[in-house]
Amino acid sequence: MSVNDSRKAVVLVSGGLDSATVLAHARAEGCACYCLTFDYGQRHRVELEAARRVAASLGAADHRVVRLDLSWMGGSALTDLSIPVPEKPSEGIPVTYVPARNTVFLSIALGWAEVQGAQDIFIGANAVDYSGYPDCRPEYMEAFERLANLATRAAVEGRRVRVRTPLMQMRKADIIREGVRLGVDYSLTSSCYQPDAAGRACGACDSCRLRAAGFRAAGVPDPASYARPPAV
């Protein structure tokens, strides 16, 4: 797919399989992709290198890793090492939810999109096979898009911003099949919330279970290296 340099998109890339797929989707639309990854004090820092690999393999026009420490506020097992990552499904919103994370990330993406002249912001949010985070719901994304088009000079001057969530209503298996169709190399991705020192996925956290179940349902081998077989 040829890339249209005049059609720019900012793409949030975490290093996981959803963001890799959404980056491939934006590229398939012909967008020149400006990728953002956040080093926010997460315990699973292995995803930062995964994001670099993914962005490079999918031909990002630019890739920035933004340092933005959220660990000082705590409140999440992903940023507070004193809170264990749960190894069983939990009811309600899990402790791996990071307060206001997508609002912070999308706000920075919005600023960069305005500077770059990009009218699309892509994020791999999903409201089907997901952990129940409130800032992944379609109504949240719609609300943020409304805010974006009130808050920026670009929108006031007629260049509206769209928050693009092409994976929102897809099952994890369908996301994986779509990524395979688009040429995503999932061996470059990392999904685990608590990988070991060798970078192997734990196989027990919510993210590992969702990933493994998705690959199984898709009929596609999961290239991740697990310290123990995922409970799916």
Q: Residues at the annotated binding site for Zn(2+)?
A: 192, 202, 205, 208
Annotated binding site for ATP: 13-23
Residue 5: enclosing H or E segment and its boundaries? strand 4-12
The C-alpha atoms of residue 232 and residue 226 are separated, in whole angstroms, by 13
Binding residues are: 13-23, 192, 202, 205, 208
Contacts of 123 by beta carbon, 8 Å cutoff, 6+ apart: 11, 12, 19, 22, 102, 105, 106, 109, 141, 163, 164, 165
Listed in sequence order, the residues at least 6 apart from 76 whose beta carbon sits closer than 8 Å to its beta carbon are 83, 95, 96, 97, 98, 99
Residue-wise DSSP of 139-163: HHHHHHHHHHHHH-HHHHTT---EE
